[in-house]
Structure 1
Amino acid sequence: MRKVRVVYRKYDGKLHWHQWMTYLGEDQYGVWLGAPAGAVAQRGEEPAITMDAACVQLFPRDKWFTASFNDVPAKTEIYCDITTPVTFGDEEFTMIDLDLDVVKRRDGSFYVDDEDEFAEHQVRYDYPPDVIRAAQASCDWLSGAVRTEEPFLTAYKTYLDQVR
């Protein structure tokens, strides 16, 4: 089983979320990694947390997002982080978290999170205009896609079955 360290950083380079996951495969949507219930994740240097539910993450090639698909009992079914395109290494995937999140709850409700943080960080970290445009465009597209398009409808379920 190939293990991959997933590392999200903030625009200033500060360590954000990170964890080890298992490589599950690649398809037309990107590279899929998974973690069973009980896996640990950590935000920066904070204490590690134990995940209550299995999850899989999609790391698309040359796109400005990553997506997490959570098993029950998680209330959040799909959680998309708006990021820079992923840098793929053999043992580590890295990206810059650009604050915006597109969230679909298990009950079907949907929202965009951290728009205030995105606006604040544009100023604090001096996001270049092309980064702002790409992040916003990705957020806008995901706002519809998570409710109407693959891989957000059923494609992820095969991968989730592998880590249950």
Structure 2
Amino acid sequence: MRNVRVVYRKFDEKLHWHQWMQYLGEDRYGVWLGAPPSSVSQRGDEPEVHHDQAHVQLFPRDLWFTAIFNDEPRSTEIYCDVTTPVEFGDDVFTMIDLDLDVIRKRDGSIYIDDEDEFAEHQVKYNYPPDVIAQAQATADRLVTAVASEEPFLTVFKTYLDKVR
């Protein structure tokens, strides 16, 4: 099975979250990667984070987000990062994290997180107006999508089954 390095950066190109994941396939929603229980991720050069549950990640083509789908019993079921469109390499996927996150908890509640960080970074990193508009529009659209559209309803579960 092919492994892919996932690399999130901030707008100033500083290394953010990164990890190795297993390539699971591609469908009409994008490319799916998986991480089994006991996988590891890292933010920048901070200590590694060890995961107890499996998770899969969706990398859509030409859209402004990525999505993580966590296995039970994790209370956050879906975590969407608003990002620049993913740059797909053979063994590395990179994107710029634009701060806003759309989260669906296992109890069904949905909210946008880190709006304060998004506002702060617009000034700090001088986000262009089109990036600000696209990021906000993406977050707003995702709030509806994670509640009512695939792949956020059942499709992701078939990929989780592959890495459990």
Which TM class, normalised by the smaller chain length?
Answer: over 0.9
Q: How does 1:134-145 map to 2 (within 5 A)?
A: 134-145=134-145
d(CA) in 1 for partners of 2:63 and 2:47?
A: 30
1:116 paired residue number: 116
Distance 2:118 2:24 in 1: 31
Following superposition, the deviation at residue 107 of structure 1 comes to 1.0
- 1:48 and 1:65 map into 2 onto residues whose CA distance is 24
Supply the distance in 1 between the matched residues of 2:23 and 2:117 (Cα, whole angstroms).
Answer: 31
How far residue 61 of structure 1 moved from its aligned partner, in angstroms, is 0.2
- Between the aligned residues of both structures, percent identity stands at 73
Moved over 6 A (4+): none
- How many pairs align? 164
Q: Where does residue 58 of structure 1 map in the other structure? A: 58
Q: 1:73: Cα distance to partner?
A: 1.6
Structure 2 unaligned regions, length at least 5: none
Alignment check: 8 A CA contact 1:52 1:73 kept: no
Aligned counterparts of 1:95 and 1:6: Cα–Cα separation in 2: 9
Using the alignment, how far apart are the partners of 2:108 and 2:95 within structure 1?
28
Aligned mates of 1:85, 1:133 — CA distance in 2: 14
Give how far 1:136 is off: 0.6
Q: Which amino acid aligns with 2:46?
A: E
For normalisation by structure 1, the TM-score amounts to 0.99
Query: For residues 49 and 156 of structure 1, what CA distance do their matches in structure 2 show?
Result: 23
Tell me, which stretches of 5 or more residues in structure 1 are unaligned? none
Tell me the equivalent position of 1:80.
Answer: 80
For the residues of structure 2 that align with 1:120 and 1:49, how far apart are their CA atoms? 26
Structure 1 position 52, deviation (Å): 1.5
Task: Report the residue type matching 1:65 in the other structure.
Answer: F
Structure 2 CA distance for aligned equivalents of residues 87 and 96 of structure 1:
10
Q: Distance in 1 between matches of 2:35 and 2:53?
A: 9
Q: One-letter code of the match for 2:111?
A: Y
How does the TM-score come out when normalised to structure 2?
Answer: 0.99
CA drift of 1:116 comes to: 0.3
Equivalent in the alignment of 1:156? 156
Amino acid of the structure 1 residue aligned with 2:149 = E
Q: Which residue of the partner structure matches residue 6 of structure 1?
A: 6
Q: 1:109 Cα deviation (Å)?
A: 1.2
What amino acid sits opposite 2:25 in the alignment? G
Residue 66 of structure 1 aligns with an amino acid whose one-letter code is T
